[in-house]
Amino acid sequence: MTGVDVVVRVRAAHARDEAGLASLDAASWTAESGFPSVMERASGFFTEDSPPEAHLVAEIDGRLVGYIRVKPATRLPENAHVFGVFGLAVAPGGRRQGVATALLGAAEEHARARGGSKLSLRVLSTNTGAQRLYEGLGYEREGVLRGEFIINGRSVDDVLMAKRLAP
Ligand SMILES: CC(C)(COP(=O)(O)OP(=O)(O)OC[C@H]1O[C@@H](n2cnc3c(N)ncnc32)[C@H](O)[C@@H]1OP(=O)(O)O)[C@@H](O)C(=O)NCCC(=O)NCCS
């Protein structure tokens, strides 16, 4: 909960959230935060690799306002202690009310409950707002893939960030 009146509820996603999540996704990303090629793709929200179980959603007053996609970073047993955030978005009208903070907190709990001790993510160098969010929550920069993407003719780095999860 943040602010005076805003209560953010985070819950597991259900298959029936698909349409709401697809429209939230379509409204949320820009060329600074995501990939234009992905935004143009009109496909379902859930996939075989990212089913409802890999998502937590946030609601304010019963309205879907955000989601986080969290799952094991890879399938390797040697890497089983690492979970990854593979998507995080908050509807433009729901921002700066602590929704992403609540989703990340819930994702950390989700990972910890499944044996995770590290949560990692990638963020575009152009996405300074998200980097500020992650830094404020204790995520550290672990590396930078220089010039990893060219987005609208501009060279963009991929910034690797992670947080150690307390047991
Ligand atoms: C980035 C994003 C998820 C943040 O969601 P949010 O619910 O607004 O974040 P919060 O309210 O929890 O923010 C907590 C703090 O993070 C920082 N922060 C968040 N967004 C910020 C922004 N755009 N600029 C600067 N700081 C920001 C602030 O310190 C903020 O605290 P404050 O509002 O008291 O100043 C949201 O802007 C979004 O969906 N963007 C498009 C998709 C995206 O970039 N996803 C992340 C991809 S890696």
pLDDT of residue 167: 80
77 C-alpha vs ligand 1 centroid, how far in Å?
33
Half-sphere exposure of 27 (CA within 13 A, CB side): 16
Is the CB of 131 inside a 6 Å radius of any atom of ligand 1?
no
Candidate from 28, 88, 133 with most ligand 1 atoms within 8 A of CB, to mutate: 133
Which residue has the least CA distance to atom 3 on ligand 1?
Answer: 89
95 C-alpha vs ligand 1 centroid, how far in Å?
7
1 C-alpha vs ligand 1 centroid, how far in Å?
15
Which residues does the chain have with pLDDT short of 50?
Answer: 1
pLDDT of residue 4: 65
Amino acid letter, 47: T
Q: Could you please report the per-residue DSSP string of 54-90?
A: GEEEEEETTEEEEEEEEEES-S-GGGTTEEEEEEEEE
Is the CB of 137 inside a 6 Å radius of any atom of ligand 1?
no
Q: Which residues pair with 161 in a beta bridge?
A: 121, 141
pLDDT of residue 43: 74
pLDDT of residue 39: 86
Beta strands in the chain (DSSP E): 8-12, 55-60, 63-72, 82-90, 118-124, 140-151, 154-164
127 C-alpha vs ligand 1 centroid, how far in Å?
10
Integer Cα distance of 64 and 27 in angstroms: 13
Integer Cα distance of 9 and 67 in angstroms: 11
